[in-house]
Amino acid sequence: MKVAIMGYGTIGSGVAKVLDTNSDIIKERLGEPLELKYILDLRDFPGDPHEECFVKDYKEIAKDKEVKVVVETMGGVEPAFTFVKAMLEAGKSVTTSNKALVADKGAELMKIAKNNNVNFVFEAAVGGGIPIIRTLTACLTGDVIEEMSAICNGTTNYMLTNMEQFGSDYDEILAEAQSLGYAEKDPTADVEGYDSCRKIAILTSLVSGKNVDFNEIPTEGISKITATDFKYAKSMGYSIKLVARSTKVGDTYTCRVAPFLVKPSQMIYHVAGVMNAVSVRGNMLGESMYYGAGAGALPTASAVVGDMVFLARNVDKHVRIGWSAEKLELADANEQKFRYFVRTSALQSNIENEFENVEYANLDLDNETGFITQEMTEHEFNERKAALGGIISAIRFY
Amino acid sequence: MKVAIMGYGTIGSGVAKVLDTNSDIIKERLGEPLELKYILDLRDFPGDPHEECFVKDYKEIAKDKEVKVVVETMGGVEPAFTFVKAMLEAGKSVTTSNKALVADKGAELMKIAKNNNVNFVFEAAVGGGIPIIRTLTACLTGDVIEEMSAICNGTTNYMLTNMEQFGSDYDEILAEAQSLGYAEKDPTADVEGYDSCRKIAILTSLVSGKNVDFNEIPTEGISKITATDFKYAKSMGYSIKLVARSTKVGDTYTCRVAPFLVKPSQMIYHVAGVMNAVSVRGNMLGESMYYGAGAGALPTASAVVGDMVFLARNVDKHVRIGWSAEKLELADANEQKFRYFVRTSALQSNIENEFENVEYANLDLDNETGFITQEMTEHEFNERKAALGGIISAIRFY
């Protein structure tokens, strides 16, 4: 079985390393070896152990009938989309680690794969090494999925874990994460929740069978979370996690990415540092959780190689996943109900006037009061919050 | 796609319920419905919604060419083995929830399935609703698995969780678990670790590709754990869990089922009550964990139905899993190294004489001393323990 890698960066070279290191066991499990024939990259890699594999034109790979499985680890929507489309149309199956490509073009590429009787898979695009995609599409196939909650961004989980542990403020921890390489120079995609948003859109598409437009998902990041918020959380016995959630409502889902207050009896409370986890509730299965390294070259490459084995086992047939191009109309996120923790400079009498039954979370800080609301819809909360005024911060309970 | 269920007990009737409740989404994911045509059971079920499906002779199912997928939920090795073998030989794929059958006859049934170009799968046999089997055989296929640690028996995990929470002794909690239906009248298979032993044997067979004889795995249960052991554990910041472990040693594995002291920074510490989890370390993936309901009619049935969808998707081809009948020679479990917590009536001077550098875990109890050893092999520990004498209990650190 001849294979090709498009894009020899961190993940792509990780894939080559996994194929080299574990060639024996892969051959035993598959019944034949996975032989790397091409690596597509515009750069030169003199002295690389796979030096003879490098090509600069994707068409060389597309036209070689011997290659049945292609890996895309270039990142970004273009030219990845053009190259992947060409491979599928040339009768090759493709796996990608590229969440931008999958969130934007997943349903379209799935259709092209089906029409060409090949497969398009993307285990590494969500949750890094955690096999959440195959769990949803090939294991929990007897369940209606009622809720998914994902800690699916290692950068923000690392930052929040450290803010909690050291009592530090956001800017300080961001600078540290950047210096360690855990956060990018422009951290926007991670810290504002855009990365998590694309991932929960993909997961929701898979469980609903329809296509979720990630632009429609209300998304808040962690950049407004402060050391004081963590002090309040701790005083209540909670932590703060950036959670991407999807909840079944009637025939559709409602999605949201936001920081949530979580407590120790909830398994996701214990997901620390750069680790990721996806909690899934099925109507028959009940609660389950899948935990592991959400990023990193080798864990991600491990997921890509797992996909390659799957593709090699199904080289002559399209495996239905059930992700159509039909748009999923998400339920109104303003109708979701939560309990909220609120910090405000408003007077206690005004708080009780606007929110009626509240519990107080008192840190004895000057000029502010922390309180917990009853459960209410986003819509109602936003109205009462505006009427109260003096809001310093507000965080939902998970 | 016509299907049959053999054995209409708790799990079998759960499978029928999942097929009924979730028929729409199963049809959407598979592209065709799973239609229940036969239920094999010697008993009568008058008024059952599937009354017209019941048969008493398995040969009726075997000879019906329309049936392509058969579920075995009878339990026990015979007559389950005879029936499953007949179905595979008649060209039908089979899924079972029966761990006794899989631990005893798995490799043999796998070979029969291969020879008949059908599939034999058993997601529900280990970890109930947790999709650990497909994770190992279809997801982590690019990894050498270096270690697996499973909390895979709900009865004992429920009992240990309650002993910890309420400070109760073993007998009291066992009686309560029996009255609630969480433990059987004869609880031996659960509390002595035999159930966990079969499960780790199956998992080790799958990752090694060879056949593990569960009789060779050193197995200790929880029946000797006391409220005082938990007091010591708590004083050290630990809990006690029954863990089935498998660790790679050279080209093979060493397996063990025993109570272990675990701490909060280890994810399995947080697996409470009847929940199960399997922690898996791959040489590329690193740490991962799979958590969910390890038992119960509907979670287990959910895993069976997931298998049915897999079988229906692969009705015309045998999917290689790589579990041969060749015996895996396990590594010598006496060479495994641990730190041990020991309670003894021996004098402190004798403890220091036999074990040299120890730490003390003092509860100020009369007539006993608790101490923690350095890391050493089982072999060495057993020698020193015998020389010391007066041993009240000894528990390994995870």
- Range of the structural domain that residue B385 is part of: 333-397
User: Is the predicted pLDDT of residue A121 greater than 90, yes or no?
Assistant: yes
Q: Where does chain B have alpha helices with state H?
A: 10-21, 23-30, 58-62, 80-89, 99-115, 132-134, 154-166, 170-179, 188-191, 194-208, 227-235, 297-313, 348-355, 378-388
Same domain, A254 and A189: yes
Tell me which of B71, B114, B141 to substitute to probe the interface with A (most A C-beta atoms closer than 10 Å): B141
Active site residue A199: yes
Nearest to B142 among A134, A305, A322 (CB): A305
- Rounded to a whole number of angstroms, the distance from the CA of A326 to the nearest CA of chain B is 14
Contacts of B130 in chain A (CB under 8 A): 288
Q: Are strands B275-282 and B286-293 parallel, antiparallel or unpaired?
A: antiparallel
- Rounded to a whole number of angstroms, the distance from the CA of B115 to the nearest CA of chain A is 16
Contacts of B250 in chain A (CB under 8 A): none
Nearest Cα to Cα of residue A226 among A174, A298, A303, A268: A174
pLDDT for residue A334: 97
Is residue A339 situated within a structural domain?
yes
Which whole number is the average pLDDT over A104-125? Answer: 96
What type of residue is A166? F
Contacts of B319 in chain A (CB under 8 A): 313
Same domain, B111 and B211: no
Which whole number is the average pLDDT over A198-206? Answer: 96
The pLDDT mean for chain B works out to: 96
Same domain, A141 and A284: yes
Region label for A167, one of left (φ > 0), alpha (ψ between -120 and 50) or beta (otherwise): left
Distance CA A41, CA A16 (A): 13
Does the beta-carbon distance from A29 to B141 stay under 8 Å? yes
Is residue A320 situated within a structural domain?
no
Same domain, B27 and B82: yes
pLDDT for residue A119: 97
Same domain, A106 and A10: yes
What type of residue is A35? E
pLDDT for residue A294: 87
Which whole number is the average pLDDT over A255-275? Answer: 97
Is residue A328 situated within a structural domain?
no
Same domain, B355 and B248: no
pLDDT for residue A362: 84
User: Is the predicted pLDDT of residue A328 greater than 90, yes or no?
Assistant: yes
Nearest to B288 among A123, A284, A292 (CB): A292
pLDDT for residue B320: 85
Which whole number is the average pLDDT over A251-260? Answer: 98
pLDDT-derived band at B78, boundaries 50, 70, 90 = very high
Does the beta-carbon distance from A288 to B290 stay under 8 Å? yes
Contact B293, B109 (CB under 8 A): no
- The residues, ordered by sequence, that sit 6+ positions from A284 with a Cβ below 8 Å of its Cβ are A142, A143, A144, B18, B21, B22, B129, B298, B299, B301, B302, B305
Nearest to B29 among A141, A305, A308 (CB): A141
Is residue B328 situated within a structural domain?
no
Contact B271, B241 (CB under 8 A): yes
Nearest Cα to Cα of residue B59 among B32, B25, B77, B82: B82
pLDDT for residue B376: 98
pLDDT for residue B27: 95
Does the beta-carbon distance from A304 to B142 stay under 8 Å? yes
Q: What CATH number does residue B99 fall under?
A: 3.40.50.720
Same domain, B106 and B160: no
Find the radius of gyration of the CA atoms of chain A. Answer: 23
Tell me which of B19, B20, B23, B29 to substitute to probe the interface with A (most A C-beta atoms closer than 10 Å): B29
Contact A264, A272 (CB under 8 A): no
Same domain, A8 and A88: yes
pLDDT for residue B362: 84
Same domain, B89 and B194: no
Which residue's entry shows tokens 């929940």? B275
Which whole number is the average pLDDT over B331-354? Answer: 97
Which whole number is the average pLDDT over B20-42? Answer: 96
Comparing B170-174, B202-206, B277-281, B312-316, the range with the smallest average pLDDT is B312-316
pLDDT-derived band at A322, boundaries 50, 70, 90 = confident
Q: Which of A293, A324, A349 is the last residue of a domain?
A: A293
- Rounded to a whole number of angstroms, the distance from the CA of A9 to the nearest CA of chain B is 17
Q: What CATH number does residue A341 fall under?
A: 3.30.70
Does the beta-carbon distance from A286 to B306 stay under 8 Å? no
pLDDT for residue B295: 85
Q: State yes or no: cis peptide before B49, omega within 30 of 0.
A: no
Same domain, B6 and B43: yes
What is this model's ipTM? 0.96
Nearest residue of B to residue A127, measured between CA atoms:
B288
Contact B59, A174 (CB under 8 A): no
Same domain, A99 and A226: no
Nearest to B129 among A130, A275, A286 (CB): A286
In percent, how much of chain A has pLDDT > 90? 95
Structure tokens belonging to residue A290: 């899948």
Is residue B218 situated within a structural domain?
yes
Tell me which of A21, A302, A311 to substitute to probe the interface with B (most B C-beta atoms closer than 10 Å): A302
Same domain, B86 and B146: no
- The residues, ordered by sequence, that sit 6+ positions from A139 with a Cβ below 8 Å of its Cβ are B123, B131, B134, B135, B303, B306
Q: Which of A258, A278, A313 is the last residue of a domain?
A: A313
User: Is the predicted pLDDT of residue B322 greater than 90, yes or no?
Assistant: no
Q: State yes or no: cis peptide before A131, omega within 30 of 0.
A: no
Q: What CATH number does residue A282 fall under?
A: 3.30.360.10
Comparing A314-318, B1-5, B325-329, the range with the smallest average pLDDT is A314-318
pLDDT-derived band at B143, boundaries 50, 70, 90 = very high
Is B184 labelled a binding residue? yes
Distance CA B200, CA B187 (A): 19
> Catalytic one among B68, B85, B199, B385?
B199
Does the beta-carbon distance from B291 to A296 stay under 8 Å? no
Does the beta-carbon distance from B284 to A296 stay under 8 Å? no
Contacts of A290 in chain B (CB under 8 A): 288-291
Does the beta-carbon distance from A293 to B305 stay under 8 Å? no
User: Is the predicted pLDDT of residue B396 greater than 90, yes or no?
Assistant: yes
pLDDT-derived band at B106, boundaries 50, 70, 90 = very high
pLDDT for residue A316: 81
pLDDT for residue B294: 87
- Rounded to a whole number of angstroms, the distance from the CA of A389 to the nearest CA of chain B is 40
Which whole number is the average pLDDT over A223-251? Answer: 97
A24-37 pLDDT, tens digit per residue, is 999 999 999 999 99
Does the beta-carbon distance from A141 to B305 stay under 8 Å? yes
Is residue B326 situated within a structural domain?
no
Does the beta-carbon distance from A302 to B140 stay under 8 Å? yes
Nearest Cα to Cα of residue A344 among A361, A331, A324, A326: A361
User: Is the predicted pLDDT of residue A299 greater than 90, yes or no?
Assistant: yes
Which whole number is the average pLDDT over B238-253? Answer: 98
Contacts of A319 in chain B (CB under 8 A): 313
Distance CA A115, CA A89 (A): 8
B262-271 pLDDT, tens digit per residue, is 999 999 999 9
pLDDT for residue B321: 84
More confident call, B378 vs B181: B378
Which whole number is the average pLDDT over A229-255? Answer: 98
Does the beta-carbon distance from B288 to A285 stay under 8 Å? no
Which whole number is the average pLDDT over B109-131? Answer: 95
Nearest residue of A to residue B323, measured between CA atoms:
A29
A-B contacts at Cβ under 8 angstroms: 189
Nearest to A22 among B284, B288, B310 (CB): B284
Tell me which of B71, B97, B206, B285 to substitute to probe the interface with A (most A C-beta atoms closer than 10 Å): B285
A354-396 pLDDT, tens digit per residue, is 999 999 998 999 999 999 999 999 999 999 999 999 999 999 9
pLDDT for residue B67: 98
A124-181 pLDDT, tens digit per residue, is 999 889 999 999 999 999 999 999 999 999 999 999 999 999 999 999 999 999 999 8
Is residue A330 situated within a structural domain?
no
Q: List Cα–Cα distances, A230 to A106, A162, A196, A241, in angstroms.
A: 38, 11, 21, 11
Is residue B325 situated within a structural domain?
no
Which whole number is the average pLDDT over A254-265? Answer: 97
A52-78 pLDDT, tens digit per residue, is 999 999 999 999 999 999 999 999 999
Which whole number is the average pLDDT over A255-278? Answer: 97
Q: How many structural domains are present in chain A?
A: 3
The pLDDT mean for chain A works out to: 96
Which residue's entry shows tokens 């009255």? B179
